[in-house]
Structure 1
Amino acid sequence: MPSHSVLCLLLAITIQEAIADPTDFVHPDYVLQHVHDASTNSAKASITLNAQSATKKGPYSIVNHNGVTAPSGDKHDYLSWAPYHWPDCNWCSTGRTHLVHSGDGGNGTDSNDPAPDEDLGPGEDSGDDDEYDDASYMQARSLHDEQLLELASRHNRLIRLRRRSLDSQNESPSGSSVFPTSTTGVPSAAESVLDLVPQVPQAPLGSLPSLPTSDLMTGSLPTATSHSTGQHFAGSSTAPQAAVKTNQPSKSACTPSPTKSLAPSATWTTCPYVARDGQVNPDVRTLAGAAAIDKTSDGFLSNVLASVFSGNHQYVKAAINILNAFFLDPETKMNPNVNFGQVVRGPGDSIGTFTGPLDMRGLVKVVNAILILKRSNTSEWTSDLDQNMQNWMAQYLHWLQNSAIGKKASSRPNNHGTFYYLAVSALSIALNKPQDATNALDEFFKNAFQEQIAKSGEQPFESIRTRPLHYRCFNLEGLIALAKIGDYLGKDYWDTKTKYGATIKTAVDFTMKVKPGNENVEELTPHVAAVAAAYGSSPAYDNFLTEQNAERHPFWFYDQPSALSHAPTSKSKASKRSMVSWRRDDDDGITGTVSPECPLIFQSHKQVEIDDGIFVTCEQILPFYSIDPPVD
């Protein structure tokens, strides 16, 4: 390739990095058989660059080097913080060193709320960011604060107060009260950000010094079993009528801090935290965990693929180095659980939430890369390494299927449930249990999937969120990966329809037609490429993909018709394709779609938790099943 062409390619790839590489799965046989396809040269070059970058910056580990550990005190226990939760303290700024701006108002309560943060939380991070850098973080935080201050007067607050213990994570049955009262004031978003700037040294989360409590706002703190003093609902800009009104204390009403030298980490255990849907608390990025698994999975898969493209075994060695550091090395390994994934900080027990397993969706790429290594018969993939990874994945899968956190994730009707079944199916394949993987796929597509997509293609449980385009795309990411794993197992879930007659394609087509507003339509690009490969191309797909320069991204290599063997476009469809189709047990042979009705989960619960502390009711969801698709 001429040097000027290489330069143009590198520039184009750099410009297009805004499109995140999604959770994905590609058939190992396709990888080995289509190394030299010219139509994917740009994508392969991008994958190779990613591999080289990961080798240079990695390996990665969940072990934090700032002294912060999980509440267990074990540095190998995964720890991440719930991205949409913010502290609610109302401490005075006078005399405390961790408030970095002047003034005596402290964390005053503000009835207005900033616009949702376009940044993704750790559970939805693409993993493309560079290593955490203090100077870059401070600069970004400063710009973020200015935006918050500018927008604060123009947006209504959307606060989700969350319940704290595992028991309280279960939804309230019909008829039960879900609105405990509160007199807690809520800090402005800008002040909350400023209060949480990390300083060195920081006390570990599990070993903070005892603090005097006489001066704390004890009346505003929840009990040890709950961080939540109320519940709010997805899609609303104000609290439900039954919730107590928040007070508006004056600047002089702030509470003196317990000490004049309060470390930022003290906020994590003394302040109750409230949820703001779609607004990422930037200090969650100071932890290594979420970014580490994303970068590990991307780096591992990219290096494995680069070794196949080039025949250079140095890429395999780099891949194994990345894998070993994250999963197996005694100093840097991760224990096979996420008991402390997406923890909501504050008083009381610090247990992970059902949203935590979402952080680990990169395991799908890890499994995929291992399958490719095995199929390529490389000598670097030893029996000892294989057995060690089998042991790790078996332990994690056991935790996922048997822990209270995992069980609740499996029961969610939205993207959390989708990614749970994706993890189970991928890990089952890795453990040489293809029937278990198929059973997981069947269970998902026969149940949760049936109510995820309306006749129009809308995804009600995703579109009700504050960033509907992002969540539609995020659930599609999981659905498409599930269909690809099914394709690998010889099943066609591409044609599986919901109870309303919709397929994955229907959802992608709908999302293409929806006006993105202030959201980034580029998030949809990988999914358009996938449905074009699975269902066949169209002028609309071609135009969209051309506008987004899709062929220059890694997913373009994965999303080719030849990568699928049981999709509608597959040559074997007419003879050997195994199509899976579901219908309601009470249809009595009647074909067609059903009228919109409350999803089954509402039969036992008046409101359903779709993210930590964020609830929806049937009355909110139902209208989304009846809307007409957008006009072309």
Structure 2
Amino acid sequence: MLSTLLNKADNALRNNSVYSVTLKPQLAPSNDPHDFMSLARYFWPNPKKKNGLPYIGRDGYVNPEIETVKDYSLLRKLFKDVENLGFAYYFTRNDSYVEKSVYRIKEWFINPKTKMNPNLNYASFIKGHKSGRRTGVLDMHPIYRMLQSIPLMRSSHKWDLSVEKELKDWISKYYQWLETTSLGKDEKYSKNNHGTYYDVQAVYLLSYLDREEEARKYSREALINRVNKGILPTGQQPHETKRPTSWFYSTFNLQALFLLAERSQYFGFDGWNYVGPEGQSIRKAVDYLLSFALSNGKGWPFKNINGFEMNNFVKLLELAFVIWPDDKYLEALVILRPKAKLEQALEYRNADWEDNYLCVWSLMTNRQLWTCVE
């Protein structure tokens, strides 16, 4: 359990490559190298146009061209590195992990030469357009990984309070951008996983900024809203099943609901067991997917072009057994966990399997998800 975490932290410690938005080979339309930019995942050149512009959507089909702009992948690496380094320090008290975390935070958020501006104006950018899209707000959602690890490092003499002060200033400006721009506000009111992950971001950002009462109120209202409007009495998530990759998005949104439930629990509201006016609940959403997971997707009544990946669902199922100790979850894990491990062995859709014991332990001991969900 611990060896996997320490291996990841040690790899992050040894990694001396630069993480910066200024490295991308093409600039955003602002011509400011500090503006974050990512390319729209499901958009492709228009075959009816000589120059292919503007790109057109093919939902569910990823354009590999997105990998030519590295801001998105570097941001994900940053969050995972700081998370792993922070947790590694918690268990080992090795100050070098904290020192590296501080370095990475300064590099991405503070250093004048390498920092990112506190906005997502050009995230999920469609070539041929002049700005990004509201869906690009999703790019920042794993920021909770970094924010939940920071408190674990404050006891180290290598933690830099002046750096954290500047980080909080950056986070404050970014949250203001989320609240006041059309891109941020439009994403907030999205009905599907985009809106759910916006809520996850908002709760973690407010909490980190010491706006605890706002975070408490937001987490409760968001959890109730997403369950009431995003889950049917059967457990189906209709805003996700309309997508051509319906299984993936049903699992993906469920991960966000787990994060919201954990935060609402932290603030005193039992989101895990909240039941909507028509019987909707997170547990029903788990059970709905479970029945199809056990049949390898047989009978799934929705379009699904990418198969039935078990990796992330199994992680949620392990947590479900801790939250609702029902033997049916344990019995299902006996069947599904080997399938999830096989996905990694076969490199099925680049499944990133890792033993989930650490997050199950953390949930049992202090009700935090830690590294449990993406």
Query: In 2, are the aligned partners of 1:410 and 1:420 still within 8 Å (CA)?
Result: yes
CA distance in 2, matches of 1:407, 1:302: 31
Residue number among 415, 426, 429 corresponding to 2:204 in the alignment: 426
Distance 1:300 1:537, change over 3 A: farther
Aligned mates of 1:367, 1:292 — CA distance in 2? 17
* Amino acid in the other structure paired with 1:563: T
Of structures 1 and 2, the one with the larger relative CO (CA 8 A, separation 6+) is: 1
Query: What residue is the counterpart of 1:356 in the other structure?
Result: 136
- Measured in 2, the distance between the counterparts of 1:523 and 1:331 equals 37
- CA positional deviation for 1:498: 2.8
Q: How does 1:438-453 map to 2 (within 5 A)?
A: 438-453=216-231
Q: Gaps (5+ residues) in structure 1?
A: 1-41, 90-184, 186-216, 218-256, 258-266, 568-632
Cα distance between partner residues in 2 of 1:340 and 1:501: 40
- Distance in 1, matches of 2:134 and 2:310, equals 28
Q: TM-score, normalised by structure 2?
A: 0.86
Alignment of 1:299-338 (within 5 A): 299-338=81-120
Kept after mapping to 2: 8 A contact 1:54/1:295: no
Corresponding residue to 1:553 among 354, 361, 364: 354
Q: How is 1:30-429 mapped onto 2 (pairs within 5 angstroms)?
A: 42=1, 44-57=2-15, 60-89=18-47, 185=48, 267=51, 271-346=53-128, 349-374=129-154, 377-429=155-207
**Distance in 2 between the 1:493 and 1:539 partners?**
21
Aligned partner of 1:516 in structure 2 is: 297
Preserved CA contact (<8 Å) 1:473 1:524: yes
Distance 1:564 1:529, change over 3 A: farther
**1:247 is matched with which residue?**
none
**SS of equivalent residue, structure 2 residue 9:** helix
- Once the two structures are TM-superposed, the CA of residue 555 in structure 1 deviates from its matched residue by 4.1
Q: Work out the CA distance in 1 between the residues paired with 2:221 and 2:86.
A: 32
Q: State the 1:476 CA deviation.
A: 0.8
Partner amino acid for 1:378?
Answer: S
> How has the CA–CA distance of structure 1 residues 438 and 564 changed in structure 2, closer, same or farther, with 3 Å as cutoff?
same
Partners of 1:469 and 1:453 lie apart in 2 by: 14
RMSD (Å), alpha carbons:
2.3
Deviations 1:321-379 (A, max 9, x none): 22222212222111111011101111xx42111101100012111110112223xx222
Q: CA, structure 1 residues 536+306, in 2 after alignment: closer, same or farther (shift >3 Å)?
A: same
Alignment partners' CA distance in 1, 2:277 and 2:311: 29
Is the 1:340–1:353 contact (alpha carbons within 8 Å) kept by the matching residues of 2?
yes
Could you tell me whether the CA contact under 8 Å between 2:227 and 2:280 is conserved in 1?
no
Answer whether contact 2:230 2:237 (CA < 8 A) is retained: yes
Displacement of 1:526 in angstroms is 1.7
Q: Contact between 2:124 and 2:136, CA under 8 Å: does it hold in 1?
A: yes
Note closer, same or farther for the CA distance 1:543–1:519 as it changes in structure 2 (3 Å cut).
Answer: closer
Q: Distance in 2 between matches of 1:538 and 1:60?
A: 47
Q: TM-score, normalised by structure 1?
A: 0.52
CA distance in 1, matches of 2:281, 2:192: 16
Deviations 1:435-484 (A, max 9, x none): 11112112212323312111121111101111111001110111111111
The 1:455–1:423 alpha-carbon spacing in structure 2 relative to 1, beyond 3 Å, is same
- Give the equivalent residue in structure 2 for 1:503: 281
Q: Which residue among 361, 365, 368 is the counterpart of 1:563?
A: 365
- 2:59 and 2:244 in contact (8 A); partners too: yes
Contact 1:453 1:500 in 2 (8 A): no
Measure how far apart 1:278 and its partner are: 0.5
Mark the runs of 5 or more structure 2 residues left unpaired by the alignment.
299-306, 342-352, 370-374
Measure the CA separation in 2 of the matches of 1:62 and 1:419. 24
Question: Counterparts in 2 of 1:458-469, with a 5 A limit?
Answer: 458-469=236-247
Q: Cα gap change, 1:385/1:65 in structure 2, threshold over 3 Å: closer, same or farther?
A: closer
Q: How many Å separate the matches in 1 of 2:227 and 2:186?
A: 16
Pick closer, same or farther for the CA change 1:444–1:60 going to 2, 3 Å.
Answer: farther
Contact 2:200 2:259 in 1 (8 A): yes
Closer/same/farther in 2, CA of residues 565 and 521 from structure 1, 3 Å limit: closer
- Percentage of pairs with the same residue: 25
Q: 2:319 aligns with which of 517, 530, 540?
A: 530
Residue identity in the other structure for 1:279? Y
SS at match of 1:494: helix
